[in-house]
Amino acid sequence: MSRGRRWARLHPIGLASRAYLSFHPSSVSALARHNYRRELVSTMFFPVALGAVEGSVVGVIVKNAYAGVVPPLWLNYAVGLVVAAPEFANLTSFLWAAVGHGRRKVALINALQGIAILMVWVMAAAPRTVAGLVMLAAAMVVGRIAISGVLTLRTVVWRANYGRSERARATGKFATIQVLVLAGAALAVGAGRDSSDAVLRGLLVAAGLIGAVGVAAYHGIRVRHERRQLRAERADHVHQRPGLSPMSILRTLRADPAYARFMLAMFIFGSGNLMVTAPLVIVLRDQFKLGSLWSVAIISGIPYMVMPWVIPLWARLMSAHHVAGFRARHSWAFVAGQTAVFVGAAMHSLPVLFVAAAIQGIAGAGGAIAWNLGHLDYAPPHRATEYMGVHVTLNGLRGILAPLAAVKIYTWVDARWPGQGFWVFGISVMLCVVGAVMFVSLSRGIGHGVNRPARGA
């Protein structure tokens, strides 16, 4: 490559031009462009509202806004509850898989998005009293239950509208935009909380209004071959349909032992990851004395800002490997991030925690893609919602257990050995390592290429 061409590729205008073209609708196949364009617009606006019900963001708000309103121990458990809310709300995923089976997905997704926005406005109205804390937490849980439905049903739309070769790239672009918007929304909410309570409430109302633009854009998405897909779903035998009972999850896992083993590895690995945020919110406030803005920056702002830079790399790796092989490589990034959190808390070092936040962003970028698409390497085409429902519901189960257990361990250790509560992060590291080793073992039984093309197509 000549020096002139090399300079042109590295020039800021050239970089910006290539970035713009990589997101342009012309970057996807002609059949996918209408839906891609609509979803691109939706992804630019709806995550503004989504950012207001992020567990880490609301955890910081609760820890700072309700200090002195409730006893410190109960406040810490409230932090654990709201941090866990996005995860344990996923326990309802099997319900959404059942409700969405045989029904039009886009209309149902739109309704759930509207409920989430309404809950953001309820949170904005919550007073700074004990009742207000309950009101805020309840609204967040309801909002996250609605988002769980969106996540469960959206993968069916992606599968229908994008071929496997471009699915990871398209969803990677959506994830890139979403995390940038989430980073901005999270930091704005944190700054608003540090400014005044009135500013925070105004920001939450505005977030809901902006998110409504994204809902309107999503309304225009069309699902390719939807009639055929719905006929296939409705033609399933009764025992093959996702049910309203949690027992339907066990039936799915018993019928697919390979997916069951993958879910077990995910449960252990994910539990380690979910143990970090709640005690970290408490540590940053009680030990480092940070305000809302800097706490949000470490917990979500910096990771979200780092993610877009590495999402394309993870997307290419995801396209080339079965999800078990992808996780066998990607999971070690989370191990590194959790280890950095442990070291930063043990050394009482903010610089190390900032580095940990960046590593968590690198790991989270790959997780955002695999979390949404990984089950498609196991699921038959007409059962994608069911498999996603299993995955998201089990994520909800560990979402109940891990954050609250982490808060319990932190408070118990810190009460008996003051300043030593950081050992809870060591437990999260060990769980992540066990999960990562399990992924390596699973990947050896699959090989290096994409497995089960008939199912993942």
Tens place of pLDDT for every residue, the chain, 457 residues? 555 555 445 445 554 455 556 677 766 777 777 888 888 889 899 999 888 777 778 888 888 888 888 888 888 888 888 888 877 777 777 778 778 777 788 899 999 999 999 999 999 999 999 999 999 989 988 998 898 889 888 877 887 787 766 777 787 788 788 888 888 888 888 888 777 888 889 989 999 999 999 999 998 888 877 777 777 767 755 455 555 566 777 888 888 898 999 999 999 999 999 999 989 998 998 889 888 888 888 988 899 889 888 888 888 888 888 888 899 999 999 999 999 999 999 999 999 999 999 999 999 988 888 877 777 788 877 777 778 778 877 888 888 889 889 999 999 999 899 889 999 999 999 999 999 999 999 988 774 444 443 333 3
pTM across the whole model = 0.74
DSSP state of 299: I
| CA-to-CA separations, 393 to 77, 90, 95, 389, in angstroms, rounded | 22, 5, 9, 6
Q: How remote is the C-alpha of 47 from its chain's centroid?
A: 12
Strand partners, 70: 67
CA–CA gap between residue 287 and residue 427 (Å, rounded)? 20
Q: Which CATH architecture has domain 32-224+240-456?
A: Up-down Bundle (1.20)
What's the pLDDT at 170? 81
What's the pLDDT at 114? 94
* 428 contacts 276 by C-beta, under 8 angstroms: yes
- Structure tokens, 409: 């361990």
- Structure tokens, 282: 């408490």
DSSP state of 298: I
* 259 contacts 442 by C-beta, under 8 angstroms: no
Strand, helix or coil for residue 11: coil
What's the pLDDT at 10? 43
Burial code of 295-333, b = ≥16 C-beta within 10 A, e = fewer? bbbbbbbbbbbbbbebbbebbebbbebbbbbbbbbbbbb
Strand, helix or coil for residue 346: helix
E strand map for 345-401: none
In which residue are the tokens 């442990």 written? 342
- Which of these, 27, 41, 346, 337, lies nearest to 178 by C-alpha position? 41
What's the pLDDT at 311? 82
CA–CA gap between residue 221 and residue 95 (Å, rounded)? 23
CA–CA gap between residue 400 and residue 275 (Å, rounded)? 10
Burial class of residue 244 in the structure, from the number of CB atoms within 10 Å of its CB (0-12 exposed, 13-18 middle, 19+ buried): exposed
In which residue are the tokens 């590495």 written? 310
Q: Which residues contact 312 (CB under 8 A, 6 or more apart)?
A: 169, 172, 176
What's the pLDDT at 36? 85
Residue 376's CB is within 10 A of a number of other CB atoms, namely: 24
What's the pLDDT at 457? 39
Burial code of 47-79, b = ≥16 C-beta within 10 A, e = fewer? bbbbbbbbbbbbbbbbbbbbeebbeeeebbbbb
CA–CA gap between residue 333 and residue 79 (Å, rounded)? 26
